[in-house]
Structure 1
Amino acid sequence: MVKEVKTTCPYCGVGCGVIATVEGDGTVAVKGDPEHPANFGRLCSKGSALAETIGLDGRVLFPEVLGQRTGWDVALDLVARKFSDAIAEHGPDSVAFYVSGQLLTEDYYVANKLMKGFIGSANIDTNSRLCMSSSVAGHRRAFGADTVPGVYEDLELADVVILTGSNLAWCHPVLYQRIAAAKTARPAMRIVVIDPRRTMTCDIADLHLAIRPDGDVALFMGLLGHLAVSPTIDRDYIDAHTQGFPEAFAKASALSFTEIMERTGLPAMQLRKFFRLFETNEKVVTCYSQGVNQSSSGTDKVNAIINCHLATGRIGRLGMGPFSLTGQPNAMGGREVGGLANMLAAHMAIENPEDRDRVQRFWASPTMAEKAGLKAVDMFKAVADGRIKALWIMATNPVVSMPDADAVEAAIKACPFVVVSDILRDTDTARHAHVLLPSLGWGEKDGTVTNSERRISRQRGFLAFPGEARADWWQMAEVGRRMGFSGFDYASPAEIFAEHAVLSAFENSGSRDFDIGAYAHIDDAGYRTLAPFQWPQPAATGSCVTRFFAEGGFYTPDRKARFIPIEASSADRTSENYPLTLNTGRIRDHWHTMTRTGKSPRLSSHIAEPFAEIHPRDAMDLGIRGAGLVELESPHGKVIVRALVTERQALGSVFVPMHWNDQFAAKARVDALVAPVTDPHSGQPASKNVAIALRPFEAAFYGFAVSAAKPMVPDAEYWALAKADGGWRIELGFKSPVEDWTVWCRNTFNLSAGLEPIGYADRQSGDLRLAFFQDGRLLAAVFLSNQPVAVARNWALDQLKADHSDLRKRFGIVAGRPGADQPDPGATVCSCFSVGVNSIVSAIRTGCHSVDAVGKQTNAGTNCGSCRAEIKGIIDGCLAAAAE
């Protein structure tokens, strides 16, 4: 019997609708939901590969205490007792929860209620602190509430879309495709990309501003100063709906044009063109994401952007407004229930006594946190210095994702009592758990998430609970009951959602933006069929306003917005010892710390190892070769990654992705380099502007290997492991030669002692190749050289699935390249259809000179579209080379 379930993607904040189809044999297929208003059927490469990530390999299937299996009663009793003991001896602030935008709203609600309303501390923070808390702080300063004014449709209706601090093509691919389609339909539409790197998003840009790190404040202050003396200024809107414009304008006008050029690194002509675009086009949307938020001046950047929209009255109307793009599937849902340490549920303020009293009365709770709790960075400092005695980490991996990650790991390791709720047993964080609790994953858990446009959608389970895994809300409710608290007897997530809805409307009457009182009486049946909707949805209203603030109505005491006067501070953190600037971020096909996407062979086929993007002149000055290995160092740590020398990177800057962890690489947790420097208003870490030193990693030998079985952790200074179709691939770097490579291979690939390889060695070049076979199958092959290994990697991986009964063909393996009858597809460009660069180049040579033409011949770029910018770059490169 075939079962079809509508659910929501668990990756970025776009919140795409997904249809999961479960066949009678249990196999699962996924596709985009054409009726979901976030994506209308589109999915990115990660969403398209969801069915490849739901296997049970590596799952936690039962509770563990100190690494030993136990029952739920034993584990939960221990958690309740340890937390109660810490509170009794050291007070409620001696315990903490660190939660995640991967949680569903119902999980988040119970965690917030337990910590703030019953334990009586606000020491609950979330990894969303690392991605969008500056947006929250900026919204609250300007609007009086954490309100996103616009909707996705505005991105398609705008005449100018500004993308600042956002590699939309890779980080929010479905929104990128919506904008690209709108631009194709209306060629006069203009796209501005503000980013130090020339990312794939620049493919659709009419103007790329390669701004200096943290130059955004000066840029938008300059824009405000320009707008304020232009006809574009909306005096009527300013007078009727805002306060503080003279002060903000005075600060902006004090910054000279020369200073703006110096702080932004942008030439006068580009600045004037940008200012003019904003001035002469009424329909402007400014989208911002991690490049704005992850900064020590992130909140000021947000308010500098909002100031420009308030000054022109371009907010809350069709095709206009500032737009925060969240990074996680439920960062918004967490904000709605007060998941941050400095917030209360239902967008109420923890610093407001009336709000605290209101929530306490609603919950009938014995106590209420009276002040903001510790934000993420400060929370782990408190763990390190012993103030936090008991810590519960849920659905996140801070040993990889937090700044100063090595210090965070040391703090967790030293904490007297650590609980981890997760779906995987062996993460960098879970290895330090005293109690490890098995949670439900995507496809199993049931609840709601809220996307970047305030749209609440259902995640529905369609798989059986594996082993003894249970929902996160259930785990916390059980601990609350065992600590002696009432109010946690929930039978289903529908009950939690209904309580959340009732609280949103409790004593509200329009005084708060978040109101979903229309769903206060929802039951299990209504919850099962709940369709996506945008808030606000007050009770007893037939329709709702999906945009905010076109006619004012802000959530400050006088209902007027606040212009925020801003200082343009210096942003250069480099020094003689650390002369380069590190920027961290995401890549197209991986997600956070790879605990999910690392399971998918095709998601690792595009980029299979950690890398550093380096400008060619920096590489030349430092003696770094393309495809060589490099070591990056800051005062906080070191990493070793592959060098990618490219003019897409700005001179003096280096980009390294955030995803790799200790299960997939030897030393690539890039957040170990990031200082625990935070924005003073939001507490968000500055992950985009880190001073580092860079040098070649002098490897005596480089290697590449393929293996049918997962290798053991290799004895090598550098290694990067990736799952592949039919086996595994691994990149290698050695400081010195290995005494016996055959023995090394047997140990690494767990091969029997009697298994002899066939091989090839070239003493002059230093090349060595070894391949191990059994019963016509390739078990493992390793390719070694004193230079970066030139091997047709995808072809080598294909040999793991091929029949090698013919002994003569086995020698083709050690050659490291296919024969004439086996064309090499080259490095993967399109993950959806496994189309390599050589196949695309071949299509171009036959006359396919557009992305659509290449897609028609090869299928590349015809599914999710995430690779279309890369395909266009290949086409442009081939045509330019042919013209020379």
Structure 2
Amino acid sequence: MNTSIQPPRQPGEVHTTCPYCGVGCGVLARMDKDNRVHVRGDPEHPANFGRLCSKGAALGETTGLNGRLLHPRVHGQRTDWDTALATVADGLNRVIRRDGPEAVGFYVSGQLLTEDYYVANKLMKGYIGSANIDTNSRLCMASSVAGHIRAFGEDLVPGCYEDLERADLVVLTGSNLAWCHPVLYQRLEAARARRPGMRVVVIDPRETETAAQADLHLPLRPGSDVALWNGLFRRLVETDQIHRDIRPETEAADSNLKRILHEAGDADAVASACDLNPRALHLFYDWFAGTERTVSVYSQGVNQSSQGTDKVNAIINVHILTGRLGRPGCGPFSVTGQPNAMGGREVGGLSNQLAAHMGFSQGDRIRVQRYWDSPRIARQPGMKAVELFRAAAQGRVKALWIMATNPVVSLPDADLVKRALARCELVVVSDCIANTDTTGYAHVLMPAAAWGEKSGTVTNSERCISRQRAFRTPAGEARPDWWIISQVARLMGFDRGFAYGSPREIFDEHARLTAVHNPGPGMGGRTLHLGALAGMNAKQWDTLQPVQWPCPGPGLDTAGPGRGTQRLATNGGLPTEDGHPRLHPVCAETPGNTPDARFPLVLNTGRTRDHWHTLTRTGLSVSLSTHQPEPRCDLHPEDATRFGLADGHLVRVRSAWGSVLLRARYQTGQRRGELFVPMHWNDCYAAQARIGAVANPITDPISGQPELKHTPVAVEAVPAAAYGFVLSRADDLPPPETAYWVRINGHAHQRFVFASTEAPDSWRDWAGRWLGTEGTVVEMADRARGVYRFARLVDDRLVACLFIAADPAALPGCDWLAGLLDNNRPLGAEERLALLAGRPAGEAETGETVCACFGVGERIIESAVAAGAHDTEAVTRHCKAGGYCGSCRPAINAIIQRLARSAA
């Protein structure tokens, strides 16, 4: 096997993979002489061909030592590795001896590399003997896994990214692709530009930026997805769209077809159930029925539901029915949320799987146990994520080891997670970040290697295995996760199974396990087969190129881009009884916990464009923090009027599980009766913004994935005496003692945006206590308007400033003030006056940041359009916006369209 072919690279550049979403973009990274990290897209990687989104482009801003966990800690005190590892091993053994293996749980992450995942799963299931290891992918893709297994007999994605470009109709359902998987969206938009006849339909309750650029948007009622797709199934049967290979030739197939038709309504009934315009729904059904090459892309809007598995199968059913599967430009396509969600599934990171896509049947258990030579093997599935932490809160789980994730923020009913960790006898956290909402509960903290410091593999949404490669030494005493887990395992007495010297050895063991008792796809075996990648020597491992599984070998001469297997389910070949996909009847049901008089609105959560998970990485980036720097509660203006909420003012969002304090934002693209709040903010970056504390913990009965898109909530206005912001060059400035605050990192300053429910007796005294009075203080107070401005200068250089207003709309923008702080130059008389006036001298405000890469605000783009830039390319030529990563291009286009409508 020849794995040495690599694309050309510049001196010092290392081929690696982005650590963000499941697109799995190739990155070329290098360090300069000042140890600064520079990144660019890898032009040869088959996922992105050189493209990067705003988060990937800003990776270099997140690799410093700021916030890093650099040394082991036990009970808050720095210690050495021997002590930390022994404390973990002894604690786990103590709990197992006293309470049994079921009293131990691991909670791992899609941020881990496949090799890390493999070792953690082997220790828990094969040596401790319990399956209580689950991953935060349970919050992301578990419903897709369950739906894939029901339809295909195994957890597999049948298509590839190229299908989005070759399709004539792309349906994006429950996927804000432009924000959550921007590089895939850029590939889709490039294909649309080449082929103007291509259509895009977006099915989403919100009018997202993805929906705004679509040919058709269906803003369905949340939770009504099954009704919509079953209705499409009925239309396809009625118009004789049944593929010849799918016609019911067996009693079971005939029964399933009839059961789906029995559940399906006609288009008008579906439109009523989904609260859709009937004409728009008929149009979508006609387009789908008349378009052979159709891809249906789905993500968290489908998966994160108490009906998520049924929604997945409803989508897959229409593709099975019409035979639009396993062929170019066809198929259902699940896009994952994390860089290695699929790699974790391959090695058994979910509690209901063993390794290598094997389950808990007696035969699979025996095969895995023999291969691992393990003393015991888990005999049944373990507790899924929500159940695991509930068991810890009840005292049934005594020890938890959390790896590379932040469940105190990300899990639903997150305050219960706090109670669970507080009750546990042993909480171990291995992470690269020192202070998160979760690390504060750890008895033992172990510093893990971060992106750029560790090596191994990840698998993206199209089954493509890519290398992550180290290009710098680990910071402080950080170690790779696989090493940490292996050392604990050996101290627990399991030396024989964990004598690894490198991630290559672990990958080789994993690849060989996929071939155990597996004749291969299409031959009655499992589809996951990495036989051709087993036995690599050090050079082959170092130069391994992206490859899509299955790659069973022999015959895989070069594991290069595009090699392996692009599409599955081609002419059967699936691990089902007859090798063909299976229709699975599903019925439309009302989501759990529907709104009522106490909680009349529905809360939806999700991502913003430039942030990631719980801000532990992107929160460090100045450029990524410019776009939507605060968590907002998006709601329709009519709902705001109904509940007395003013745009930009404080609102309390409350559910049966918890509450948050946010600022309201009017969004006409929100459905009436529904709210949207981003998932990222936490107690390290905001006062009361952990939306996980509010989120509904009900789960899908099949997948165990929680219902994060449908939580009944109430809202109420919270009167504020003052709104304000502060910027300071002090790097240790504490948050203000106010009900609402958000911390935002700057280049050479910190920023806090805040709101106070009570005004102090003296703003000057309040500011002086917080910001100091050394040097020269200039201030302006207008009591009648509730305005106060304070600035402190040392040697004529601005070191801190505070702006207060009774109405948030009266506050100026911050960008010009940030520039004064970051430049750290003496200010002239005119600039001092500008501080008191509250606006930059001789400059216009740039408005809310649209382009994070170049720091271009909304008003600058509006000026470009007014000057004659009537498309995104012209705007880019005028002010650079959209000219680097392209993630903001949908927003730029939306501004152009808005201004065109206003002009008309």
TM-score by length of 2: 0.96
- How far apart in 2 are the matches of 1:483 and 1:796? 56
User: Which residue, 587, 590, 613 being the options, matches 1:570?
Assistant: 590
Mapping 1:57-72, distance limit 5 Å: 57-72=66-81
> Deviations 1:793-815 (Å, cap 9, x if unpaired)?
21222221342343453121122
Residue 387 in 1 paired to residue 396 in 2? yes
- How far apart in 2 are the matches of 1:261 and 1:2? 58
- Which segment drifts farther, 150-159 or 870-879? 870-879
Match of 1:450 in 2: 459
Residue 744 in 1 paired to residue 729 in 2? no
SS in 1 for 2:170: strand
Match of 1:814 in 2: 836
- How far apart in 2 are the matches of 1:414 and 1:748? 36
Match of 2:576 in 1: 556
SS in 1 for 2:356: helix
Mapping 1:178-257, distance limit 5 Å: 178-239=187-248, 244-257=253-266
Tell me by how many angstroms 1:86 deviates.
Answer: 0.6
Residue 112 in 1 paired to residue 121 in 2? yes
Equivalent pair of 2:569/2:581 in contact (CA under 8 Å): no
Residue 337 in 1 paired to residue 359 in 2? no
> Deviations 1:395-444 (Å, cap 9, x if unpaired)?
00000000001111111122110000001111000011000000000110
Match of 2:327 in 1: 317
1:348 partner amino acid: M
User: Which residue, 528, 540, 545 being the options, matches 2:554?
Assistant: 540
Match of 2:315 in 1: 305
TM-score by length of 1: 0.98
Equivalent pair of 1:775/1:805 in contact (CA under 8 Å): no
Match of 2:519 in 1: 509
Match of 2:671 in 1: 650
Match of 1:768 in 2: 788
- Structure 1 unaligned runs (5+)? none
Tell me by how many angstroms 1:527 deviates.
Answer: 1.1
Match of 2:533 in 1: 519
1:787 partner amino acid: D
- Which segment drifts farther, 447-456 or 544-553? 544-553
User: Which residue, 395, 398, 416 being the options, matches 2:425?
Assistant: 416
How many residue pairs get aligned? The number is: 879
1:737 partner amino acid: A
Equivalent pair of 1:793/1:827 in contact (CA under 8 Å): no
User: Which residue, 703, 713, 730 being the options, matches 2:752?
Assistant: 730
- How far apart in 1 are the matches of 2:566 and 2:694? 41
Equivalent pair of 1:712/1:747 in contact (CA under 8 Å): no
Q: 1:128 to 1:245 in 2, by over 3 A?
A: farther
Q: 1:58 to 1:201 in 2, by over 3 A?
A: same
User: Which residue, 836, 845, 853 being the options, matches 1:824?
Assistant: 845
- How far apart in 2 are the matches of 1:76 and 1:818? 55
2:158 partner amino acid: P
Equivalent pair of 1:144/1:555 in contact (CA under 8 Å): yes
Tell me by how many angstroms 1:754 deviates.
Answer: 4.2
Match of 1:844 in 2: 865
Tell me by how many angstroms 1:592 deviates.
Answer: 0.1
Match of 2:450 in 1: 441
SS in 2 for 1:801: helix
- How far apart in 2 are the matches of 1:252 and 1:697? 49
Equivalent pair of 2:608/2:678 in contact (CA under 8 Å): yes
Match of 1:609 in 2: 630
SS in 1 for 2:822: coil
SS in 2 for 1:418: strand
1:277 partner amino acid: W
Match of 1:790 in 2: 811
Identity rate, percent: 52
SS in 1 for 2:659: strand
1:539 partner amino acid: G
> Deviations 1:669-717 (Å, cap 9, x if unpaired)?
0011012100000000000011000111211111122122242021000
Equivalent pair of 2:165/2:191 in contact (CA under 8 Å): yes
Tell me by how many angstroms 1:780 deviates.
Answer: 1.1
Equivalent pair of 1:224/1:252 in contact (CA under 8 Å): yes
SS in 1 for 2:246: helix
> Deviations 1:803-848 (Å, cap 9, x if unpaired)?
234345312112211122x333222110011111121111111111
Q: 1:242 to 1:659 in 2, by over 3 A?
A: farther
Q: 1:698 to 1:248 in 2, by over 3 A?
A: farther
Match of 1:27 in 2: 36
User: Which residue, 65, 69, 82 being the options, matches 1:56?
Assistant: 65
Equivalent pair of 1:699/1:735 in contact (CA under 8 Å): yes
Equivalent pair of 2:735/2:752 in contact (CA under 8 Å): no
> Deviations 1:50-97 (Å, cap 9, x if unpaired)?
000001011111100001011111110110111011111111101010
Match of 2:893 in 1: 872
Residue 85 in 1 paired to residue 107 in 2? no
Equivalent pair of 1:245/1:563 in contact (CA under 8 Å): no
> Deviations 1:139-191 (Å, cap 9, x if unpaired)?
01111100100000000000100000000000000000000110111111110
- Which segment drifts farther, 186-195 or 840-849? 840-849
Aligned-CA RMSD value: 1.5
Mapping 1:109-188, distance limit 5 Å: 109-188=118-197
- How far apart in 2 are the matches of 1:170 and 1:384? 35
Tell me by how many angstroms 1:270 deviates.
Answer: 1.5
Equivalent pair of 2:263/2:588 in contact (CA under 8 Å): no
SS in 1 for 2:630: coil
User: Which residue, 607, 612, 617 being the options, matches 1:591?
Assistant: 612
1:757 partner amino acid: V
User: Which residue, 1, 6, 12 being the options, matches 1:3?
Assistant: 12
SS in 2 for 1:562: coil
User: Which residue, 671, 677, 681 being the options, matches 1:660?
Assistant: 681
User: Which residue, 679, 694, 717 being the options, matches 2:700?
Assistant: 679
Tell me by how many angstroms 1:726 deviates.
Answer: 3.0
Tell me by how many angstroms 1:204 deviates.
Answer: 2.8
- How far apart in 2 are the matches of 1:534 and 1:238? 31
SS in 2 for 1:663: coil
SS in 2 for 1:134: helix
Equivalent pair of 1:713/1:748 in contact (CA under 8 Å): no
Equivalent pair of 1:795/1:825 in contact (CA under 8 Å): no
- How far apart in 1 are the matches of 2:747 and 2:674? 35
1:162 partner amino acid: V
Equivalent pair of 2:774/2:794 in contact (CA under 8 Å): no
- Which segment drifts farther, 754-763 or 199-208? 754-763
Tell me by how many angstroms 1:554 deviates.
Answer: 1.8
Match of 1:857 in 2: 878
Match of 2:727 in 1: 706
Tell me by how many angstroms 1:616 deviates.
Answer: 0.9
- How far apart in 1 are the matches of 2:194 and 2:580? 37
- How far apart in 1 are the matches of 2:302 and 2:291? 23
2:108 partner amino acid: V
SS in 2 for 1:307: helix
